[in-house]
Amino acid sequence: MIDAVPDRPDEAAWLHARERRWLPVLAVFAVILFTTVGGYVAASLLATPAGPPVGFSGVVSVQPIAGWETAGPGTTEGHPYISLTRGIGTLVVVDWGPATDAESLSVDVVEGVLGAEFEQLSVSDELDTVTLADGTNGTRFRFVGVDPRSGGSIEGEVTVVVSPSGQGVVFIGLAPEGQLAFVDGDLRTMIDRAQVG
Amino acid sequence: MATMTPSVRRPPNRSLHRGRFFQPRQPAFWFYVVLVVLTGLVSVVEQNIYRGMSPGGWALSWLLLALYGLPVLVIVYSLDLYEREPISLVAAAFIWGAVAATTLSAVGNGGWGLTVARLGGPEFAARWTAALTAPFVEETLKGCGVVLIYLIARDEIDDVMDGFVYGAVCGLGFAIVEDVFYFMSVFGGQPAGVLQGFFLRVIASGLYSHVLYTGLVGMAVGVVVSRRATEPLRRRLAIAAGLCALAVFGHFLWNSPLLDLFPAEPWTGSDWLMIPIATAVKGMPLLVFVALAVFLARRRERRWLQDALSGEVGLDGISAAELDVLGSPSKRRAARRAMRTRAGSKAGSLLHRLQREQVNLAMVASRVPTAQDPALVRQRAYCRSLRDALGAMPGAASASSDFLERGDH
């Protein structure tokens, strides 16, 4: 309607301002882009290395990211491991020894380690396929169980890979049930960047 | 009888309002369409997964949410006293909230949640992620939908109430799809879990959710785009920033562990009574504020109508008695009811049309530079022709005069 009205010198300037059509759309696009992917960019910038890499020589090397600390070595069901922690989150890296493939190693992990460490164990039905940054392929699944020492319910995510030389490596991410979501970003970042073999 | 009815021809006022969603010349239209189609594919896949998990629970979720959503939609839509928004644009706002904003928010919340966890550690993240991510991410993305509606049909958001309607409807779409997600994923998806989720998220909390937050964001958009003639940009931006900040703060408080009076699970007996109290403590202040803001916006609309038509009283378009009726939604409804009773439903519909065109007369009068502007003259003549047509219908003239003369209605 504004175009149909004759110009008057006392009219407000905005009445006859040329309608910008592209600029506002580009601005909305920029806001949506920042809101949806900006968090991932910021998080990746915050995932800076902290301290020296940990692991087992010639088998696996994991670089802790900011906030994560080495919690010391140990063994589980005869397999040596090293762990990293940040608050409620824990990453256990197990040097499994010789293994044939990730799928059968996943079954061994459930029966040999998780079954021995947790009660009322419940494992996800699906086995996801993963590829680490160094190209190593593996499998990933989730579980829930009760820690018999604390009585607390634990939620975890297991990533199993086998190096080209046939060494099995098991990454077990742990947190109290319902809180794994708040550490799995860090866990996956460290696991995906691990050097296997 | 038809030959007795004076001819009624609508004046060409297409330039007054774009009034529809389909605007292929607007880049904003295509941007909206592309984003809704892309995110819609994700939504369809998601809903299929839920349906596969529990067909009965999924159907029950949608049924219950329709029972909640439809009345809310009607109430929000009816809040705009004089100029009901075009259905296609209202539907577009709803779809943006339900499809694009929910899908994009899931992505955005994930990324910013990761950032919160990296900065504060997992314990902090477990307590505060929902409060520190969703209010900013979700209000921004829903607000972008309202901005896109404005960019598609700029003339349609010409008041703060218009912004509220589009924002609240966008928030309603978001709330419904988010509730389906919660019913199926968090409450287990089985009918018993869905009913528990419905009690918690709709019966106990439905008054305080996204409808309020995005309604405020929509008001902010309305302030910025509709008060250019009366408020300087700095003041408009300051008001809009305040409204957006309040929306984000309300959402933050809702998601935060602050003022958390929720009973510990498992809930038994009196716990179920405590839940609505716990939600009211967090949500009621914002509900009261929004109700007050809507009341003020409606009063402002009423004032605008009186001002815009005061110079028209006694001319062809509207009489003093008609203006008195037009200014009150309840009187308008009563007049139509009386007309239907005395002269039939066609006469009632015609009176409805006359009232709508008298509101349009106010809009034309407020936008044209002179009282002799051809657009205004045409609109006056159109109103008069409608009144003449109404007067020619048997019983309508007496019904109209009786109603207008009675005064107290």
pLDDT tens profile B177-193: 999 999 999 999 999 99
Q: Coil, strand, or helix at residue A158?
A: strand
pLDDT score of B328 more than 90: no
Alpha carbon distances (Å) from B60 to B25, B50, B193: 41, 12, 11
More confident residue, B363 or B222: B222
**Average pLDDT rounded to a whole number, residues B256-282:** 91
More confident residue, B314 or A33: A33
Best residue of B33, B115, B364 to probe chain A, by most A CBs closer than 10 Å? B115
Between CA A145 and CA A109 the distance in angstroms is 14
Do the Cβ atoms of A88 and B117 come within 8 Å?
A: no
Q: Cα-flanking dihedrals φ and ψ of residue A123, to 5°?
A: -110, 145
Residues 23-82 of B with CB under 8 A from A: 26-28, 31, 35
pLDDT for B9 equals 57
Between CA B348 and CA B230 the distance in angstroms is 37
pLDDT band at B404 (very low <50, low <70, confident <90, very high): low
As a whole number, the mean pLDDT across chain B is 91
**Does any CB of chain B come closer than 8 Å to the CB of residue A23?**
no
- The answer to whether residues A154 and A144 touch, using CB atoms and an 8 Å cutoff, is yes
**Average pLDDT rounded to a whole number, residues B360-388:** 91
Between CA B398 and CA B339 the distance in angstroms is 9
In this complex, the residue of A28, A87, A182 whose CB is nearest that of residue B147 is A28
- C-alpha distance from A100 to closest chain B C-alpha (Å): 34
pLDDT band at B384 (very low <50, low <70, confident <90, very high): very high
The pair of structure tokens assigned to A88 is 């409620």
- C-alpha distance from A18 to closest chain B C-alpha (Å): 13
- The answer to whether residues B188 and B52 touch, using CB atoms and an 8 Å cutoff, is no
- The answer to whether residues A157 and A184 touch, using CB atoms and an 8 Å cutoff, is yes
pLDDT for B105 equals 97
Do the Cβ atoms of A1 and B375 come within 8 Å?
A: yes
Do the Cβ atoms of B31 and A28 come within 8 Å?
A: yes
Q: Coil, strand, or helix at residue A125?
A: coil
Between CA B156 and CA B165 the distance in angstroms is 11
* pLDDT 10s digits, B95-120: 999 999 999 999 999 999 999 999 99
In this complex, the residue of A4, A22, A39 whose CB is nearest that of residue B15 is A4
- C-alpha distance from B308 to closest chain A C-alpha (Å): 17
Distance of CA B277 to the CA centre of its chain: 27
**Average pLDDT rounded to a whole number, residues B68-78:** 95
Which residues of chain A fall short of a pLDDT of 50?
A: 1-11
Nearest chain A residue to B119 by CA distance is A46
In this complex, the residue of A2, A14, A67 whose CB is nearest that of residue B118 is A67
* pLDDT 10s digits, B203-221: 999 989 899 999 999 999 9
* pLDDT 10s digits, B82-99: 777 999 999 999 999 999
Between CA B264 and CA B273 the distance in angstroms is 13
Chain B residues near residue A89 by CB distance under 8 angstroms: 122
Between CA B141 and CA B197 the distance in angstroms is 25
- C-alpha distance from B337 to closest chain A C-alpha (Å): 34
Q: Cα-flanking dihedrals φ and ψ of residue A120, to 5°?
A: 50, 45
pLDDT for B8 equals 58
Label residue B89 exposed, middle or buried (CB < 10 Å: 0-12, 13-18, 19+).
buried
Model ipTM value: 0.87
pLDDT band at B10 (very low <50, low <70, confident <90, very high): low
The pTM of the full predicted model, rounded to 2 decimals, is 0.85
pLDDT score of B282 more than 50: yes
Best residue of B118, B149, B157 to probe chain A, by most A CBs closer than 10 Å? B118
pLDDT band at B7 (very low <50, low <70, confident <90, very high): low
**Sequence-separated (6 or more) residues with CB below 8 Å from residue A127:** A103, A106, A139, A140, A141
Chain A residues near residue B151 by CB distance under 8 angstroms: 21, 24-25, 28
Between CA B34 and CA A48 the distance in angstroms is 36
The pair of structure tokens assigned to B114 is 């990761």
Best residue of A10, A25, A125 to probe chain B, by most B CBs closer than 10 Å? A25
* pLDDT 10s digits, A16-32: 555 678 999 999 999 99
- The answer to whether residues B383 and B375 touch, using CB atoms and an 8 Å cutoff, is no
* pLDDT 10s digits, B118-133: 999 999 999 999 999 9
**Average pLDDT rounded to a whole number, residues B10-18:** 50
Q: Coil, strand, or helix at residue A143?
A: strand
Distance of CA B303 to the CA centre of its chain: 21
Residues 139-158 of B with CB under 8 A from A: 140-141, 144, 147-148, 151, 154-155
**Sequence-separated (6 or more) residues with CB below 8 Å from residue B322:** B358, B404
- Helix ranges (H only) for B80-181 are 87-95, 102-152, 160-181
- The answer to whether residues B303 and B295 touch, using CB atoms and an 8 Å cutoff, is no
Label residue B319 exposed, middle or buried (CB < 10 Å: 0-12, 13-18, 19+).
middle
The pair of structure tokens assigned to A144 is 């829930």
Count other C-beta atoms under 10 Å from residue B71's C-beta. Answer: 10
